[in-house]
Amino acid sequence: MAHQAGKEAAIPLLTSYQMGQFDLSHRVVLAPMTRCRSYGGVPQPQAAVYYSQRASRGGLLISEGTVISADSMGYPEIPGIWTQEQVDAWKPIVDAVHRKGALFFCQIAHVGRVYTTEIKVDEPAPISSTDKAVTPDDEAGIVYPKPRGLRIDEIPRVIEDFRRAARNAIQAGFDGVEIHGAHGFLLEQFMKDSANDRTDMYGGSLENRCRFVVELVDSLVHEVGAHRLGLRLSPFVDYMDCVDSDPEGLAAYLVEQLNKHQGFLYCHMVEPRMAIVDGRRQIPHGLLPFKKAFKGTFIAAGGYDQEEGNKVVSDGYADLVAYGRIFLANPDLPRRFELGAPLNEYERSTFYTQDPVIGYTDYPFLDDNNNSFSAPNVSIE
């Protein structure tokens, strides 16, 4: 980032940062967000528009959750990265982001038992740590299918699926890989004691419940290198019937395990649920012990606005801040932060619709005459 005297110093989010081998010009990260526009599990050309719109020189983007195998397609029209067709489809999307000078990490995921799509009669049951289904969502009209608990001898196959996905992500040109260990997906179904009712070596104690993710991290470090790996965690979040009786202990143990890998790039952690204080959302700021303990880059997520993001960076609470919905609605979010410009409102009803434009690539830029990113000379490009 180029500096203008006194200007960027007042905006902590827009200061440069060294993340391992990667030079970032600002600390505003695009959070991974499911968008349900990869028809048939194959990323589409419009994704190149969507991601490149949100790319800026020296910025970091994390892809939507990208599933690792055919048995992890639990949401409609989500992308995968286990076939050569999918890898080839990702390549021009990654190239479009790189042409803007940004870094792009692929979040790889397995939904486990969280299937919102219908399971056909002849299809196998979803896999999980357990055979307990997620509680039906009456409001959304979703009844989750009964899963099947993985046998011990099947776990290496799932780890190999993750390993292939990580290898494919690098082949597609991604700069690195984020492991999805959050929000009720398969890894959390093992880690959290509300979901994991196993009595074998992958259940019971904290160490046993974390064994799957620890083995997975070990495998991916060997496959693509610790310097290109991140892990997203949501130890404090109660989602999809995944809650832990000791989230602090869970988070501390996992950070300790990541630290065993020299140069493990980042830990991306979601804040505890926000509270409403005096009519205003207040972030609990429960992540500081884990930021202090983790040896790599620490990314905080969870409902941040610009003011809160600046504060946590300046206070040393987080190195980077991931933004979801407001980045979705404001493709030039770093520039708006720089100028103190007003933000577009997001349209919740189009978050997960399959339209290739509406609610996806049609959010306006500050300079929307030609719907292109036009940066000031001094900073964000």
Smallest CA-to-CA distance from 155 within 117, 198, 195 is with 198
φ, ψ of residue 280 in degrees (nearest 5): -125, 140
Structure tokens of 80?
């995968």
Contact 89, 163 (CB under 8 A): no
Structure tokens of 224?
């693509």
Structure tokens of 242?
């995944």
Structure tokens of 315?
């206070």
pLDDT of residue 246: 97
Smallest CA-to-CA distance from 63 within 26, 28, 96, 34 is with 34
Interstrand relation of 148-149 and 266-270 (parallel, antiparallel or unpaired): unpaired
Smallest CA-to-CA distance from 115 within 136, 93, 87 is with 136
pLDDT of residue 116: 86
- Give dist(CA 178, CA 354) in Å, integer: 24
Q: How far is CA 89 from CA 79, 94, 110, in A?
A: 10, 9, 20
| pLDDT of the chain, 381 residues: tens digit per residue | 333 334 445 799 999 999 999 999 999 999 999 999 999 999 999 999 999 999 999 999 999 999 999 999 999 999 999 999 999 999 999 999 999 999 999 999 999 999 987 766 678 899 999 999 999 998 888 899 999 999 999 999 999 999 999 999 999 999 999 999 999 999 999 999 999 999 999 999 999 999 999 999 999 999 999 999 999 999 999 999 999 999 999 999 999 999 999 999 999 999 986 555 566 556 666 899 999 999 999 999 998 999 999 999 999 999 999 999 999 999 999 999 999 999 999 999 999 999 999 999 999 999 864 344 344 333 454
Smallest CA-to-CA distance from 228 within 294, 164, 177, 169 is with 177
- Give dist(CA 31, CA 65) in Å, integer: 10
Q: How far is CA 253 from CA 204, 245, 262, in A?
A: 15, 14, 16
Side-chain half-sphere of 81: how many Cα atoms within 13 Å? 28
Dihedral sign of CA atoms 91, 374, 371, 50 in order: positive
Bridge partners, 321 (sequence order): 28, 300
Q: What angle do CA 2, 99, 41 make, to 5 degrees?
A: 130
Per 3-state DSSP, the chain is made up of helix, strand and coil in percentages (nearest 5) of 35, 15, 50
- Give dist(CA 108, CA 68) in Å, integer: 6
- Give dist(CA 223, CA 286) in Å, integer: 33
Positions of E strands within the chain: 17-19, 22-24, 28-30, 60-62, 66-67, 103-109, 127-128, 148-149, 176-181, 229-233, 266-270, 275-277, 280-282, 297-301, 320-323
Q: Tell the residue number behind the tokens 């997906």, with chain if given.
A: 185
Three-state secondary-structure class, residue 349: helix
Q: With the CA atoms of 348, 177, 94 and 184 taken in that order, what torsion angle do they form, in degrees rounded to the nearest 10?
A: -20
Maximum pairwise Cα distance, the chain: 66
Ramachandran assignment for 329, one of left (phi > 0), alpha (psi -120 to 50 degrees), beta (any other): alpha
- Give dist(CA 274, CA 250) in Å, integer: 20
pLDDT of residue 122: 75
Structure tokens of 286?
């429960």
- Give dist(CA 206, CA 203) in Å, integer: 8
Three-state secondary-structure class, residue 215: helix
